[in-house]
């Protein structure tokens, strides 16, 4: 990949999260609060031809853990969600550029890598983030909650 491709993905996936935290933390330090970042299952294991994406998402996971350590004294919890395949606008636009046959094959492959045999709905990821943001998880900090439909549970032979 080119350096420009690397930089673009790292800037979006990791630097964007850094900047969000950088500007939220001074306000949260005044009264406490919660940060919920979005990483990916790809931050926990390698995916071929995705070094930039995997590295950026692993960076988000570890940045979140450092924030949890550094800001707990301000009553700030920091966690991240690590989704698997989710039916977002980006995924739908990716599928839209394919023929019907290609789309069917890509959707079958996407489902097959998830033990639950489907992609997540965005609302499912929202509920995971809500859990991390609410008092039900008041003793959870520095955690990367993997919600990937079983992708990282193990490799099937």
- Please pick, among 23, 53, 74, 94, the residue that the annotation labels catalytic: 53
Helix axes 16-31, 51-71, angle to 10 degrees: 10
Give one DSSP letter per residue of 55-73, joined into a string.
HHHHHHHHHHHHHHHHHGG
Contacts of residue 94, defined as CB under 8 A and 6 or more positions apart, other chains included, come to 106
- Label residue 37 left, alpha or beta by phi (over 0 means left) and psi (-120 to 50 means alpha): beta
Assess whether 53 carries a catalytic annotation.
Answer: yes
Q: Structure tokens of 156?
A: 């099937």
**Which residues are known catalytic residues?**
53
């Amino acid at each position: 990949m080119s350096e420009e491709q690397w930089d673009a993905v790292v800037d979006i996936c990791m630097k964007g999260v850094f900047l969000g935290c950088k500007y939220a933390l001074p306000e949260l330090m005044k009264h406490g609060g919660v940060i919920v970042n979005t990483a990916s299952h790809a931050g926990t294991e390698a995916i071929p031809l995705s070094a930039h994406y995997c590295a950026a998402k692993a960076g988000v996971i570890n940045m979140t853990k450092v924030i949890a350590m550094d800001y707990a004294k301000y009553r700030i919890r920091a966690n991240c969600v690590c989704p698997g395949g989710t039916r977002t606008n980006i995924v739908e636009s990716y599928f839209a550029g394919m023929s019907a046959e290609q789309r069917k094959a890509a959707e079958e492959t996407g489902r097959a890598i998830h033990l639950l045999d489907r992609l997540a709905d965005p609302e499912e990821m929202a509920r995971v983030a809500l859990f991390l943001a609410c008092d039900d998880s008041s003793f959870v900090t520095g955690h990367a909650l993997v919600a990937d439909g079983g992708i990282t549970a193990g490799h099937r032979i």
